[in-house]
Amino acid sequence: MNLLKSILFVGLGGAFGSVARFLISYGIGKYYSQPFPFATFLTNIIGCFLIGSLYGYSIKNDLGNSYFNFLLITGACGGFTTFSSFSYENFNLIQQQNYITPIIYILLSVFIGITFTVIGFKLIK
């Protein structure tokens, strides 16, 4: 595979996913003003459904490391929400019957992620 072409497909997909995420947040923000972060929650759930569907399609059609995967799975879903990538990685670990690693990955990602957000905030504030 051509690396430059792969990067281009990931970038195009990422741009599309990022704009889609922005539009969902913008649209929901106009009509929903509660403290629960509904736009992010909805984006994460949609992204997980999309990445699962696209991955299933890719496996079913033996697409492997194709430009389809770079454009839609890595690019669009990754740009739309990294939570979908996080979910996809854990799903793959569970499919391989590796149950301890996803538990550790989930716990560390959530707790260390929040901790580093606080540290970054306090360092700059």
78 is in an annotated binding site: yes
Contact status, residue 14 vs residue 70, Cβ threshold 8 Å: no
Output phi, psi for 103, to 5 deg: -65, -45
Q: Which two tokens stand for residue 112?
A: 């260390």
115 is in an annotated binding site: no
In the chain, which ranges are continuous DSSP H helix?
A: 3-31, 38-60, 67-68, 78-80, 82-95, 100-124
Distance CA 124, CA 105 (A): 27
Residues making up the binding site = 78, 81
Residues making up the binding site for Na(+) = 78, 81
